[in-house]
Amino acid sequence: MNIDIVGGGSLGLLLAGKAACVPGVRVRLIARTRAQAERVARDGVSVLEPDGAERRSRLSCEAFDAAVSESADADWLWFATKQTHWNDALLAYAAGAAKAGARLLLFQNGVGHVERLAAAGAPPERVFVAVTTEGAKKTAADAVAHTGEGTTAIGSAAAAGSEAAAASLMGQALPARDVLRAAGFEADVVPDIERFVRRKLLTNGVINPLTAILRVTNGELAASPHYRSVMRALFDEAYAALTNAAEATDPEAEWRQVLRVCERTAGNHSSMLQDVLGGRETEIDAITGAVLRSAASKGLAAPTHAAMYAMVRGLSSATADADSHSRDS
């Protein structure tokens, strides 16, 4: 099986480094910069596991600009890019690959990218969504630390018209699941991926903005009773905004799941914190913004999320202003 993994950030490096060790799988990493592509092509990807074991995998790597200049010949394209990276060029590349017969697996946080891909012309039956709680931290252009073991759910983005169609779509996702399992991840194909998307959005909406503002790890966040009280306020607002009456679950069980994610990824810096520290645009609009839009559609107030949204946007603006002043001085 040929797999192109698009995105050389924390998750992309983790997926590429581990999948490249699976027999019979050819992995190509598509990085955003030429410098990273040259380094990975020369040295491979080093993965530091939670138990301290380190392994370097050899794989091919190209810069995105070079990759999009030729037609994709992969069986699967796994997208480990941020929501903020889904520009017109990436949408056109992904949609073109899907039209040509490749299957897409999307690992993005938040919501909105599936709809944008559909609008760009990607056939829905070739688009699959992955919801993962794996923790990863990029330590160099060619190195990543696996900071927390989680689970990955895979499901189709297409609406199945019958049980047979649903079974067919689930069957098409099995090769991706099998590669993830062979690479050492806990993964499964599920018929109700939207439920997992909402749960991940709920978890991200609680953890990501708060860790970005406080600049703490996931474990430090859950360990403090003071931080946890704010987490609970964020959880209650997001649960009300994202849960439909017909799909309501035990909120206390969902709350415990959020805390378990913090415990399993205790040493992890959330992707939003990494973006703030790196001076990059965050996914605040795709995560907290999505919670706020859902709350507004139900006539609900979400003041704690509104505060998080404003503060993270403020942090991003302050970082951008500081970078600008630094370049001008």
Q: Which residues are catalytic?
A: 200
Cα 18 to Cα 136: distance, rounded to the nearest angstrom: 12
Q: Cite the beta strand spans of the chain per DSSP E.
A: 2-6, 26-31, 45-48, 54-57, 60-63, 76-79, 103-106, 127-132, 135-140, 143-148, 151-156, 186-189
Query: Closest Cα to residue 140, out of 58, 267, 44, 29?
Result: 44
Furthest C-alpha separation in the chain: 64
Q: 224 by DSSP, 3-state: which? A: coil
Task: Tokens for 46, please give them.
Answer: 């080093």
Q: Do 134 and 271 contact (CB within 8 A), yes or no?
A: no
Give the residue from 183, 158, 178 showing the smallest Cα distance to 168: 158
Q: Which strands make up the sheet holding 151-156, listed edge to edge?
A: 60-63, 26-31, 2-6, 76-79, 103-106, 127-132, 151-156, 186-189
Long-range pairs of 170-176 with CB within 8 A, sequence gap ≥ 24: 172/103, 172/125, 172/128, 173/128, 175/1, 175/75, 175/76, 176/76, 176/78, 176/103, 176/105, 176/128, 176/130
* Residue whose pair of structure tokens reads 């999307």 in the numeric block: 106
N- to C-terminal Cα separation, the chain: 51
DSSP 8-state class, residue 122: -
Residue 106, classed as helix, strand or coil, is strand
Task: Please answer whether residues 2 and 75 qualify as being in contact, where contact means their C-beta atoms are separated by less than 8 angstroms.
Answer: yes
d(CA 84, CA 104): 18
